[in-house]
Structure 1
Amino acid sequence: MADGRELIHYDDTEPWLSGERVRDAVDHRPLPPAEETVRGGSQVRFDPLTGDWIAMASHRNDRTLMPPPDQDPLAPTVPGGFPTEIADSSYDVVAFENRFPSFSNRIGGEAGFLDGEELWPTMPAAGRCEVVCFTSDTHGSFATLSPTRARTVLEAWIDRTEEIGATEGVEQVFVFENRGAEIGVTLPHPHGQVYGYPYVTPKTQTMLRRAREHREATGRNLFRDVLDAERRAGDRVVFETEHFTAYVPAAARWPVEVHLAPHRDVPDLPALTDAERADLVGAYLDLLGRLDRYYPDEHPLPYIAGWFQAPVREGRDEFRLHLQVFSVLRGPGKVKFLAGSESAMAAWINDTTPEKVAARLREVSR
């Protein structure tokens, strides 16, 4: 890219797939070097009251927000048109370094203490943040992708998980998608992101602690026991395939929340076999389709979908790959705001029951 960032193509159509043609587009935008854009913009600070690391990313306040359709930065660059992040006039799937990353090895800096106080350790916001564009089409969503294209995206996620996981300083890789204005999406183009964190995230730390406690008490894997218990109960199971089960967790926090877990114990996406990957494509498209049909008016459901994978080094024998997808929409046009109890105390109150949600998701099968 013009500022030195990396862009990777994942092609599934001709003439690119066979190599008959080679991508040779040039990014002519007058951008400053990526190091200048992010330099001094991020730092990670330790919260002594919770034990969490918090990223301060001031340069992200200038990122693009809901541009007009003819200035979509994730669209292909057409001759004479708006120069986008992808210089080619067409593409299948692409991944590229985020122009406004929360974490980047380009940011620089050293570990230390804020104001010289040992209470507040700091470290560079090292790592990697990438954008993954599912399609060059500016409309639609992951749910509207063909199975072939969905498989290409899955393979891109797997490749990026492996590459980013091998990046210096990265401790955990998180593949996720934000969809819908209610979620806070800044670009409507169908896309997701991949974060390489310089620490193990707080939620993962909590799950790992619980998994270790469960192992000490029972000798078993907590994630496996949860999946087996949900399958035995059955009333919160949405559907099962040969290799995956989708279910609403017994203690769901969100108005609509579904987990999708493999039947085999695997730590991350790269560990899936070819048969499991093929099965996952159909299962994930099925699940997202049901979510879009969840409300009677078929209002496309805003959601966050995140793949929880084992950290790069820590707890790989305890953690288990699974998807968590949830929505803040508690009814058509009704957003569940995280008010006092949830935001201040992390004490969750759900406005429905997991059993009702699962029943509705079974009803809207096609």
Structure 2
Amino acid sequence: MTNSSAQAFTSPSGRTVFRRKHAKADGRRLILFGYSEPTGAPAPESLEGAGAGAELRWHPLLGEWSIYAAHRQNRTFMPSAAEDPLAPTRPGGPLTEVEFANFEVAVFQNRFAGLHPEADLKEGPHGVRMGVASGDCEVVVFSPDSDGNLGTLDQDRRQLLVSVWADRYDHLHDAGARFVMPFESRGREVGVTLPHPHGQIYAFPFVPETQARAAKAFADGFDLAALLPSWDDYIIERAGPLCAFVPPFARYPYEVWIAGRQAVQGPWAFDREGFEAYAYLLGAVTRRYDALFGREAPTMMSLQAAPGGQASNFQFTTQFYCLLRAPDRLKYFATVEHASRVFTVDVMPEAAAKVLREAI
């Protein structure tokens, strides 16, 4: 990839978004997105990738692939603010992953990727089925500022972020990904290694078992959008054609989903009203968690869109899994749950919905 001038596209909100692609010194791509055209010259150097030596191994009893990537063991862990690798690269300052002095949202290929477009087949242990760890892993930097979250970012920035996700879905599906999943890990308890506001995107060369089961359920006739009007007691906030709710079948104590009362396959399919409502609810759910617990709530968030960008009757959801069951008590993935995949839920979904509704 060569450096290029910015290209423009129109987001579902009707605003123009600029996209500037840049080739990092080690060949990884960096893309700057903004409402203003990204300008300025890049720093002459940048951090170098740690390698692409990952592999896939098949679990014969579970029927699932796992990614093995030994080079990730040495990834950056909780650096000082002065050494933040997701900050803009300032003149005279340390090297970072974003070698520009100014940006709004940045996307780059992960330095410590578990999936890579140029991966090849490795030789494995006798009797173990191996797979090619092809695909992609990207980091999405929400803001140049070193603190903040989806709840404190303004609505314009959240809408820009949703535009970026939609753009990356298009690119990664076109590149052959079977399943694309943007996600955010938030809080030390979740295992976050970089506190700067950011998320990631995994582009899988296969459809993970969880998503394959969901796709089959939708194809077999499960209609989430049709059920939402009957789940009034579980809804914590509405916005336009979407709502945030605690599923009656939630497995985490304060699990929350965002979904539309009219089904779409992914964020790329929102009309203007749905797009703006979705961006708003991303912030609203985050703020409710923090208000409920009086602290930054450790949370795992993932976007669950149609595999390959299309799957029969698939309904897009965004799912939040909070790791707290009380302000000072973590929800641990206990032995019985890990070994059996049968959850024991400590907080009834009805009670969780009530307190989250009242949290703000």
TM-score above 0.5: yes
For residues 141 and 360 of structure 1, what CA distance do their matches in structure 2 show?
22
Would you say 1:54 and 2:66 are equivalent positions?
Answer: yes
**Contact 2:46 2:99 (C-alpha < 8 Å) held by counterparts:** no
* Residue 28 (structure 1) shift: 1.2
Please state whether the residue corresponding to 2:306 is helix, strand or coil: coil
Runs of 4+ that moved beyond 6 A: none
* Residue 116 (structure 1) shift: 4.7
* Residue 318 (structure 1) shift: 3.0
For residues 275-324 of structure 1, give each alpha carbon's deviation from its aligned partner in whole angstroms, at most 9, with x where no partner exists.
Answer: 211121122222221111112xx1111101111011006x6113211110
**What is the letter of the counterpart of residue 92 of structure 1?**
E
**Contact 2:47 2:97 (C-alpha < 8 Å) held by counterparts:** no
Which residue of structure 1 aligns with residue 51 of structure 2? 38
Would you say 1:149 and 2:157 are equivalent positions?
Answer: yes
Would you say 1:125 and 2:121 are equivalent positions?
Answer: no
For residues 142 and 275 of structure 1, what CA distance do their matches in structure 2 show?
19
For residues 313 and 274 of structure 2, what CA distance do their matches in structure 1 show?
20
Q: 2:42 aligned to 22, 25, 34, which one?
A: 25
Name the count of aligned residue pairs. Answer: 337
Higher deviation after alignment, 183-192 or 265-274: 265-274
Which residue of structure 2 aligns with residue 211 of structure 1? 218
Which residue of structure 2 aligns with residue 267 of structure 1? 265
Would you say 1:322 and 2:329 are equivalent positions?
Answer: no
Please state whether the residue corresponding to 2:280 is helix, strand or coil: helix
Would you say 1:192 and 2:199 are equivalent positions?
Answer: yes
Stretches of structure 1 lacking an aligned partner (at least 5 in a row): 216-220
For residues 202 and 282 of structure 1, what CA distance do their matches in structure 2 show?
30
* Residue 230 (structure 1) shift: 3.8
Please state whether the residue corresponding to 2:139 is helix, strand or coil: strand
Would you say 1:5 and 2:25 are equivalent positions?
Answer: no
Please state whether the residue corresponding to 1:174 is helix, strand or coil: strand
**Contact 1:267 1:317 (C-alpha < 8 Å) held by counterparts:** no
Between the two proteins, what is the percent identity of the paired residues?
30
For residues 115 and 82 of structure 1, what CA distance do their matches in structure 2 show?
42
CA RMSD of aligned residues (A): 1.7
Stretches of structure 2 lacking an aligned partner (at least 5 in a row): 1-23
Which residue of structure 2 aligns with residue 336 of structure 1? 331
* Residue 30 (structure 1) shift: 6.8
TM-score (norm 2): 0.89
Higher deviation after alignment, 234-243 or 176-185: 234-243
Distance 1:322 1:57, change over 3 A: same
Please state whether the residue corresponding to 2:65 is helix, strand or coil: strand
Which residue of structure 2 aligns with residue 110 of structure 1? 121
For residues 30-52 of structure 1, give each alpha carbon's deviation from its aligned partner in whole angstroms, at most 9, with x where no partner exists.
Answer: 73xx4xx324x210111111110
For residues 254 and 210 of structure 1, what CA distance do their matches in structure 2 show?
21
